[in-house]
Structure 1
Amino acid sequence: MRTQRNDAWKRWALFVAVAASLCMLLWAGWTLLKGSRVIPVSSIQSDTAVTIGIPDAPSSIDIRTDDDPAIEQALLGNVYETLVSRGQDNSLAAGLAKQWEVSEDGLSYTFTLQSGLRFSNGHALDSSDVVWSLQQAVQQQYVGSEALDHLAEVANPDKDTVTITLSSPDPTLPRTLAGRAGIVYDEDASIDYARQALGSGPFTVSEFRQSVSIALRGNDSYWGQAPASSQITLRYFADESSMVEALRNGEIDMALPLSAATAQSLSEDPTLMVATGESLNKTTLVFNNDADSILSDSQMRQAIRYLVDTAVIAQSQADASRELGGPIGPLDPGYEDLTGLFPHDTDQGAALASYFGTSYYGGGLRFVVQQEYATLATTIASQIEQGGVPVNVEALAENDYQVRIDSRQFDLTLRTEDGDDSAAQYADPQSLSQYTDSQAQDQYKAAMAAPNDEEYQDGLRAFARTVSQDAASDWLYSCRTFVAAQPRLSGYATNMVDRWLPLSDIALS
């Protein structure tokens, strides 16, 4: 009897369990149909996935051989790491190397690696990988390897130390090693770099869809702090308007970089956040220093600089961050505020220009620009004309503009110059301005041969001051970057996002 009762109880218990399970399944199905979540949000971590909209999709992700800036923007610092890194103010910081030292003569650099470094496949990363990567960059002529011309020898006395010997001093070496030339690769990796990636960064590439998206996942083997989001997708758009529409519709969480006009429009949308940052780009009024140009005379160039009110221009341009007074921007090494050299002074400018007489100008200064700069060119022309100098503005389509520039048929033009080394053109007589000055060239050469960073930056400041005092051109303003995001998104950078996009701290709250 005991056995029969036990069997009965067991059958009853089984019935209850099955019935309860069926009820749970029915309830779960009903709640799903009603739109409720059975599983708490936190347990599936749905908010750890972020989608970022970007224009200009790369055709591959081979950061070694494809010079498309979009690859660098997506992968540098996120998937691939460099010996040295950059901060948000473009200053140098520890990367895979936690510190470095340079000899007094500037010919030897010693880098000490972080501890516990690993690639995303779990392989250990040590000094031998650094040596091999630098050798490969030079031998295979990877993108950026031309900046390693001074390299004489690379060695690893132990697994945590790398020594680099130069044939002549190069104070830009640490900055070079914060770019593509400083990426450390796994010698044992066997992948199709055009479609796959293997680095030591906080993310891995889980999927690359050409011209569509790059999907990144958190690197489980990462040696540093885990990223705030487990998945970030970079979604590429053919144009800015479709990217903005996707942001408004909630299809993406952030859009960048934006034009100033679009950023202004989005700032009026209460459902979005718009943030600005500093760019390395600079908008410059370029002077033609050719011998047959009116502006080959330094006094005439100085007159123009007094007549152009750069402060007013910087305040009126939506993409302007701050007024400039020289060829080096606020995020560039060697920056010094030189805006005081030529304060706006119409009387002073007119006095300098009057020396030449009205017949000297012929039909007026030839101010040739692309159509996008037409309004700004008209503003500048009116300021110059207040000093008695006639100006003829021509706004041309891109192809026609380039023909005029190539044939040197201009006195003034407007350009937005890219990068943190754009000042170098004023030491190059073959550049757009064709500015030539032996003192400036000697100062630049001395800066580039400095044995350490301090002397390098001091040398750049001296060079920039000479070039500015001689009015080689008129540097109007440094540019801003613009990003727009959903209010719940945090941890994103704003400076230089048109070139680099650190993703580790980005997360939805």
Structure 2
Amino acid sequence: MPSWAWIIAAIAAVAIVVGGVFAYQRNNSGSDAAAASDSIAIGLTLAPTNLDIRNEAGTALDQALIGNVYEGLVARNSENTVIPALAKSWTVSSDAKTYTFELNADEHFSNGDALDSKDVVWSLDSVIKNEYQDYQVLANVDSIAADGANTVVLKLKKPDATLLWNLTGRAGLVFDEDASYDAKTQAIGSGPYLLKSFKQNESLTLTANTKYWGSHQAKTKTVVLRYITDTNAAINALKGNSIQVLAPITENLSASIAKDSNYVVKAGNDTDKFVLAFNGKGSKTSDKRVREAIRYAIDNKALISSRGGADAALGGPIPSLDPGYEDLTNLYPYDQSKAKKLLAEAGYSTSNPLKLNFEYANIYGTDLGNQLRSQLKAVGIDLNVKVVEFSAWLQDVYTNKNYDLSLVDHNESHDFYNWANPEYYFNYDNKQVQELYAKAVASTSDAEYESYLKKAARLVSEDAPADWLFNYRVTTAYRKGVTGFPLNLNQSLLPLWNVQYKA
């Protein structure tokens, strides 16, 4: 071969090698970019009827908007504890009556308006003045004032250990006083996402706020929340990849999903408490022996197992993610002989059964009612199970308190106050519990607050005004490649800035 041919061949070889290297790098880079999807769809159950978070009730609004579109002075993390948000820090006076919040610098709303202390003062004052949703939690506030552009001073009439946590919800959200929009269909906030569209009972679409002021920049450009009430349709949507996440999914139905290597199924902690309430003023349930017998007669582990096994046993009124939690399951363990003995003392037996009416809303299905009827029948209690429309339950049980036993999923966090309220539908009136709760709220330290709550919760459980059937744990199914989706509390708290999907 002539020398010039060797030169040409060498140049060609180098070109092929170099070209191959660049092609490899280009293709690798392209595949990485393609793998990180710019959108993700999430299947949820409860849909908001409109987006007016100041006036409309329902946790579906909290789930979709708080931490995504709207922000407050403080927020909650997945362990249900208070963390900074619009306020980067805060101090509390020695008498626990003055809270001073320092805002982050250069905060602004999604429309470009600056967010400063005046917006905070106006927002909190508006909640109290107009009695917006959850305004009651600010009843102890004496004054709210701005001290310069980045400092807010909030003064209380008396100490309130629940204040910071309450500010993580609707009462603490900060809005733009100057913005003009239809709050039922639009939203202007300061969060990492903007509201792109809302289709009632169908979907809510969020798009990344590219001008977000904070560190929680959205990792996915578009997030679609799809509301699917039919369980089979939701599972089919997950399998068909029209949604990449489904929350919640019942543990029993998730078994087939979990067997598929394309999916991940995990349970997260939540604050839902499935409460079997005993009417404290009922002609039969006012007898503590009857209430104790019912608790001994219930096999909580069997109930949990029948639901798939994800839920946690709960022996008292405070769930594991709330302050004051203590494992009280040993107070009334499953013991049929003790149940029969107590019923005998009260004048009942399997041959002379205690007859009780058990009314609850049909949103909970019939399985739990049937299982409880079977378990209680074994010790000499005949349950007349009545599954009704929710409106009927509201009238019969919640308003008129005309019931023996009832069932409710109390999903609120920090809701122990219901046991300190003798007017609540439980009809539970214990002065010592009320005093302990009042002391807890008036505490000037977290340790003192939790100590009083623990004492009060133990007293409540010992009194047996209810059986806490289980602490519901939410099960989520998602496609492999999904990261950053919150598992704990995701039915009421769903920050989405960290969510990604890599196919």
Question: 2:213 maps to what in 1?
Answer: 223
Could you say if the C-alpha distance between residues 362 and 428 of structure 1 is closer, same or farther in structure 2, counting changes exceeding 3 Å? farther
Could you say if the C-alpha distance between residues 403 and 228 of structure 1 is closer, same or farther in structure 2, counting changes exceeding 3 Å? closer
2:488 to 475, 495, 502: 495
Question: 1:436 maps to what in 2?
Answer: 429
Could you say if the C-alpha distance between residues 66 and 458 of structure 1 is closer, same or farther in structure 2, counting changes exceeding 3 Å? same
Question: 1:318 maps to what in 2?
Answer: 308
Question: 1:234 maps to what in 2?
Answer: 225
Query: Which residues of structure 2 form unaligned runs of 5+?
Result: 1-26
Q: Does 1:396 align with 2:415?
A: no
Q: Distance in 2 between matches of 1:479 and 1:242?
A: 23
Equivalent residues in 2 for 1:218-367 (5 A)? 218-225=208-215, 226-292=217-283, 294-318=284-308, 320-358=310-348, 364-367=354-357
> SS of the residue aligned with 1:100?
strand
TM-score (norm 2): 0.85
Q: Does 1:94 align with 2:87?
A: no
Q: Distance in 2 between matches of 1:383 and 1:243?
A: 33
Could you say if the C-alpha distance between residues 304 and 235 of structure 1 is closer, same or farther in structure 2, counting changes exceeding 3 Å? closer
Question: 1:379 maps to what in 2?
Answer: 371
Could you say if the C-alpha distance between residues 129 and 183 of structure 1 is closer, same or farther in structure 2, counting changes exceeding 3 Å? same
Deviates more, 1:354-363 or 1:272-281: 354-363
The question of whether the paired residues in 1 share the 8 Å contact of 2:359 and 2:403 is answered with no
Question: Which residue type is aligned with residue 462 of structure 1?
Answer: K
Could you say if the C-alpha distance between residues 327 and 320 of structure 1 is closer, same or farther in structure 2, counting changes exceeding 3 Å? farther
> SS of the residue aligned with 2:175?
coil
Could you say if the C-alpha distance between residues 159 and 327 of structure 1 is closer, same or farther in structure 2, counting changes exceeding 3 Å? same
Deviates more, 1:242-251 or 1:323-332: 242-251
The question of whether the paired residues in 2 share the 8 Å contact of 1:365 and 1:411 is answered with no
Question: Which residue type is aligned with residue 451 of structure 1?
Answer: T
Equivalent residues in 2 for 1:65-80 (5 A)? 65-80=55-70
Q: Does 1:190 align with 2:180?
A: yes
The question of whether the paired residues in 2 share the 8 Å contact of 1:361 and 1:390 is answered with no
Could you say if the C-alpha distance between residues 439 and 508 of structure 1 is closer, same or farther in structure 2, counting changes exceeding 3 Å? same
Q: Distance in 1 between matches of 2:394 and 2:309?
A: 24
Query: Which residues of structure 1 form unaligned runs of 5+?
Result: 1-36
Q: Distance in 2 between matches of 1:196 and 1:401?
A: 34
Aligned residues: 470
Q: CA deviation at 1:69?
A: 2.5
Q: State the Cα deviation string for residues 373-416 of structure 1 (Å, max 9, x = none).
A: 544344334444444x3323424343676676466554333322
2:171 to 171, 174, 181: 181
Question: Which residue type is aligned with residue 407 of structure 2?
Answer: L
- Between the two proteins, what is the percent identity of the paired residues? 34
Q: CA deviation at 1:98?
A: 2.0
Q: State the Cα deviation string for residues 94-130 of structure 1 (Å, max 9, x = none).
A: 1111222222322111112223322223333222221
> SS of the residue aligned with 2:418?
helix
**Rg larger in 1 or in 2?**
1
Q: Distance in 2 between matches of 1:84 and 1:185?
A: 14
Q: Distance in 2 between matches of 1:460 and 1:361?
A: 42
The question of whether the paired residues in 1 share the 8 Å contact of 2:282 and 2:403 is answered with no
Q: Distance in 2 between matches of 1:497 and 1:128?
A: 32
Q: Distance in 1 between matches of 2:346 and 2:198?
A: 61
Could you say if the C-alpha distance between residues 86 and 319 of structure 1 is closer, same or farther in structure 2, counting changes exceeding 3 Å? farther
CA RMSD of aligned residues (A): 2.7
Q: State the Cα deviation string for residues 282-327 of structure 1 (Å, max 9, x = none).
A: 11221122152x2212233223322323334334433752111111
1:52 to 37, 42, 54: 42
Could you say if the C-alpha distance between residues 41 and 141 of structure 1 is closer, same or farther in structure 2, counting changes exceeding 3 Å? farther
